[in-house]
Structure 1
Amino acid sequence: MKKKILVVILIGVTLLIAASLRSVFIEPDIQFISFQSATLNTALTEAHAKWSKAVEKYGAGAVYELVASEYEHVSGNDWHTAGHVLGGIFYERYGIEAVGYCDSRFDLGCYHEALGRALIENGATSLADLFEKCVSNGSEKECLHAVGHGLIAREGYSEEALLKTLSLCRELHKSTELVQSCPGGAFMEYNTRLLSEKKNRDIDLFHPTYPCEMLPADSYRGICYFWLPSWWLGFFHEISEEERVKNFFHFCASAKSEKDIHACVEGIGYTTMPTKEKRNTEVCLHLPKEFQESCSFVATEGKTYNPYDEEK
């Protein structure tokens, strides 16, 4: 009997010590940091410093899991940006092998940053080798999307750079999931500029759908419209959900064709979600009835679409 009591006591003491060590040495470094636009640069610097120290002490895999646990119930923007911070830290330590520590969590943010950094440093001339190395550690779709981010950051965010990147995407493209793949990564990075300037490009309220309207339909124009709401969110996150969705639809309605408007509306469904794990179909009810189905499909399924047959 005494032996059993002693075992129970020892187990209890061990658990208490483990919990104390976790609290003292790890959790203070991994506590939640918001990446909202107004404080983005400060937040990125703070997270990079704290999480880098944690990686040095505990390893990339352990820190990845701790950050994922800390951010799993937060908004899509904070969730995704946390992945970018991790990808940057891993790339600084491991080079392109960093992609081996990334997975589909953080809406692929870790992949985006790690491979994007590799492309910025090595250029498009090494694209095939980098892509092959990425695929050997991850999935083709994640790597293609990250390639889109890296190429546009490397080329410099001009209209000319965007068109060149889309051309390279077309040469490289093997996936049928175009929205989440190379073109999607290019448009996302063109708008959010997470790999270089660390801030959204400014919005022109007279031309909120730029650069999509300048693109021909066969240059992934629908995908461009799809990714606009995720960029707009950085400027409208402080207003109510209803106001935000109505503003977004007003912008979408200026698109070139009805097909483009539906692409943009699906982007609303994909972007305006309360957490990364619960997409909210109620946001779609703030839209005109003829567009609610396009929005709710993505909000419910969490799936993107392939808007133009000619892009396959």
Structure 2
Amino acid sequence: MSNTIVAKDLRKRYGDVNAVDGVSLTVEDGEFFGILGPNGAGKTTTLEIIEGLREADGGEISVFGQSPWPRNAALLPRMGVQLQSSAFFERLTAREQLRTFGSLYGATSRKADEMLETVGLADKADTQVEKLSGGQAQRLSIACALVHEPELVFLDEPTAALDPQARRNLWDVLRAINTDGRTIVLTTHYMDEAEVLCDRVAIMDHGRILRSGPPATLVRDLDAAARVSVASGVVSAEDARTLPGADEVTDDEVSLVIATHDAPKVVKALADRGALEGVQIRGATLEDVFLDLTGREYRA
């Protein structure tokens, strides 16, 4: 497959801070690619350089084989961009807003109305944008990025203000867009979102890519312990520690949890004791990979 995006050794510095410190990545045609990282990791700055919104201090970047900087007008109709915060035209309704955005790229009014339906805003079509909730405004922002049917879509934390139902609805929208052949680049703090949607992810911190690859591969390479939990009281913590394959045991009086690298052996031992009440098995996830690479310290 050919590459929609090729970045080599991208660098951007603000004073003493290396916001982007030697980032290299490729995104293939039709790929769903995620960029993950804590606050201040450099995700948004990297995205803005690729989009042509910000000039890099060093390195090379090409999108569809062309440089996005200086602002490349030939690339604009081929890209859709949803930023972390969006400014809308004042006093326009959601329908008028979307039709205005679409008209800049030759999208029809009918397409704009269809997109309102797609993002679940058809019932807010005649509502002024100032009166939309935060989640509704976020969905309108995403609709504006998609209304002209771009080949490449950039989404910067698109579900940050959405409730669980709206998040899942948007996932379905994004899957359909990607299945239709469009390339999507996503930044998100939701590891489950990246694990479900992305073909590959890059985990960033301090301006650098720490690791990249398919989510399942990154999880498998972590070699983290699985956690087998049962209802507290069906087996004592002392007995659980003697089970074959048990590495660590905790009991909070609601659930007894056994950390293990051999979950089948632990489950069989529990079954032999008739102690499978409430049994659950949780393997490692992308969140475990993320925390292993970036640490657990809270960052505001």
Using structure 2 for the length normalisation, give the TM-score: 0.28
Using structure 1 for the length normalisation, give the TM-score: 0.27
Greater relative contact order: 1 or 2 (C-alpha under 8 angstroms, separation 6 or more)? 2
Give the structure with the higher percent strand. 2
Bigger Rg, which one? 2
